[in-house]
Structure 1
């Protein structure tokens, strides 16, 4: 009874801490989302009334995000980059998983650490390093061989390369964790029954890895879509959405249309995260 009385203040203190923590996390997001519906030219109090103009209006000064060509162009470039990065990252992450789980080669642990290193390197450093390497290579080829390679200049290719350099580590770790749980006797049984290695991979191993591959692809898409610090140093004229929003903020200041974009991204990210959870839960329940 005494122990129970002593634990009661601790329990209430823990609940209070959790509540304050989640309020601290959610308050900026709620504020940003709320001002996307404020019938005002500025994202600030007082509340002027509910409106959807910042999403759908087609005239100034309340030009909605779905009629803002620059924002839509940034959204398109972000989508193209994110899809490309996630596809490449899942493919390479899957091969990395097989390499580090099934492979036997010298200095395996060393190369595993090398694979993980991009996660702890600041994105700014990654962006600058890739930009310097690509620019120096392009300048050398142009000056000495009269060979001009535009894809080594700031643009979508370098943005994809920069994001791929660290997002692949994330997908590799997710898929590796799933592959370690796989029972290899299932493959051995199929091989003993006459199935080829390609068929075993296609019908047994990859279906087992599919939930992790889908989840890793969704995470890679989200991380790529919202990336800013690495992208900032590698972007060219095809600016993705994060860079477009930053440029708008720097030149014009905060406007409700940026809150509308933020709300759109929050909803989209939440739905993708929910999809990732449902995919893994549905597969594990079978």
Structure 2
């Protein structure tokens, strides 16, 4: 592994982030998210102090062995960018912060990650699943409610702190929570941490659904206990695949993949 090399995601690597389900370990996923075709391996490694050098090297090699990474092709723009960085004598920490400011939404990029909670099974006849959608944009909330209803969910909506508290206190306990990060009077990451400490709700699958799509935000959500992370704008089918994955529903082979939602999402 050459620390001065710059790596980018292969098509398979991008599919791993977009598929709605992943088999990667947390360390593999954290590293894959940080590969951006701009920072060198040495800079990325320096930005992950919690991971030992040995673990970083073995994790990196596993991603390469699965053909998820490839050496990035040099281009004049990236070369100019590196030259400017050297001229300004940016520290490694500043370079990492700059990388974090690069949104995964560039060029239509989005992230859809979901971890499987249990065995896959179809709904039994008459069975109803319950979901809480925490989203402050009414039109988007209604759209998601409609899609989840098609999947057999009874959906409750919450758009601010008071509504979130009220819905979380209701019974039955939901089978799924879709959680926005940017609420008018609350922070979705804080809500997630409180959910994971709640005796009755700590095991409910949670998918973060948000316009905050920096690598740091994705890592923060997954590290805080989210089962999935889907960024806005998103493909409706990508969200539904993530929902089926975390809840354990079988995949819908006839699902459409070309409905983009919330193109003007707030960041």
Q: Shared fold (TM-score greater than 0.5)?
A: no
Task: Answer 1 or 2: which has greater strand percent.
Answer: 2
**Which TM-score applies when normalising by structure 1?**
0.23
**Which TM-score applies when normalising by structure 2?**
0.24
Higher relative contact order, chain-length normalized (CA < 8 Å, sep 6+): 1
Task: Answer 1 or 2: which has greater helix percent.
Answer: 1
Q: Which has the larger radius of gyration?
A: 1
